[in-house]
Each structure stands twice: as structure tokens, then as C-alpha cells.
Amino acid sequence: MPVSRAKPRKRLTREESQAQTRAALIAVGRKHFLRYGLGGAVAEKIAEDAGYSRGALYSNFGGKEELFVAVIQEEQAHRLDFFRSLLKEEPSGKKRLKKMRDAIAELMTDHDWIVLRAEFEVGALRSERIRQSFVEVHRQQIRDGGDLIRDLVKAPDVTSKLMPDDFIAVIINLAHGLAVTQRILGAEQSQRSTRNLIQSLFDHLISSA
């Protein structure tokens, strides 16, 4: 009877190995930042739990703060991809608008995103390095979100009271501030109230005929 042999594992290129290391550190770092906060998370412990040395973290990110920014950037990229695919699947301007509204309301009541965004804001107030990263991420978020709204208002039955970039800035800042407060209050009813208020704000600023 022939002996079956396992296929030899493909040797990763240097770029693939680095990408794998970065992905693992980002995933574990995200868990630590959610649990301990940016100030409480420990770089060495993150690296250890990810299965790497302290040096691996510092060679890929330069430190805990840079890893945290990478976590935020990955979150932003995932959200943007989600919104783009969500709108791409729906040809109706009115339905696209409703999908966008409901998705934003869900995002702004997502516990993990609320915590990470709040940590990012606090970090930006305390660290000039993080503040600079916050500015870059925020500007990119406005550009990307503005593009989504610009695409929405191309539909003849959709109108906005604000310019696309201004609309996104209002939604991001007011909705997130509301979500943080309601999350601290803690009641399930508060979360529903947050979702309803965000949806109402959205409908007030942009609507369909």
C-alpha cells in the first residue's frame, strides 16, 4: 500500500512572512487595546501572545503607538470596503441611501469601534505622534466618506443639505460623541435610542424624493 506523504509547506517569501507577522500582531494588538486601552496595553505581552518576540513588534511597527494606529487603519479599511460593496449591490438611489443610513447607525453603536475610536481620540490629546496620525486618518476618512456621499447624491432622487465632506464630518463627530455617551449609560434602551437618533440625523441632512 503506497504511503501518502504530506505536501511540503510552501516557503513564504520575505514579504509574505512580514505580512503574516504584521497581520498577527494587529489582530492580537486589537484585542489588547480593547481590553486594556492604549495606555494599559503592553507591547511585550502583545508580541508574546501573537507568538513573536518583542523585536518582531518593534521591527514591524516601531512601538505600541504605531501598532495601535495600524489597528485603526485596518478597521477603517474594512469599514470602507463594506460600505463600497453595500452600495455597489443596489442600483436604486433611495434604497442605497437607506442602506447607508442603517449601516452608519450600526457602526456608531458597535462596541469595539466606539472603544477604539475613543482610545484614538484620547491618545491624540496626549501624544503629538498619535495626534498627527489621527489627523491623517481623519482626513482620509472624510475623503473616503465624502466620495461615498458624492456617489449617493448622483441619483436624481437624492438630495443633501450639506456638501459631502461636511456631511461626513458632522456624522462622524456628532454620531460618535452620542454613541460614546450612550454606551457609558449602558442601558440596552440607550443603544436603541442612539441608533434611532443617528438615523434621524442622517434623514434630516440627506433625503430622497
pLDDT of residue 190 exceeding 60: yes
What is the model's pLDDT at position 96?
85
Q: What is the pTM of this model?
A: 0.84
Instruction: Please state, as a whole number, how many other Cβ atoms lie within 10 Å of the Cβ of residue 76.
Output: 17
Q: What is the pLDDT of residues 8-22, one digit of tens each?
A: 556 768 788 889 999
Answer yes or no: do 91 and 190 share one domain: yes
Answer yes or no: do 29 and 97 share one domain: no
Please count the helices (runs of H) and the strands (runs of E) in the chain.
10, 2
Q: What is the pLDDT of residues 98-141, one digit of tens each?
A: 888 888 888 877 889 889 999 999 999 999 999 999 999 999 99
Answer yes or no: do 27 and 90 share one domain: no
Instruction: Please state, as a whole number, how many other Cβ atoms lie within 10 Å of the Cβ of residue 93.
Output: 18
Answer yes or no: do 97 and 32 share one domain: no
Q: How far apart (Å, rounded) are the C-alpha atoms in residues 116 and 103?
A: 18
Determine, yes or no, domain membership for 82. yes
Q: How far apart (Å, rounded) are the C-alpha atoms in residues 161 and 58?
A: 46
CATH label of the domain that carries residue 174: 1.10.357.10
Domain encompassing residue 48: 13-62
**Hey, is 92 helix, strand or coil?**
coil
Answer yes or no: do 95 and 154 share one domain: yes
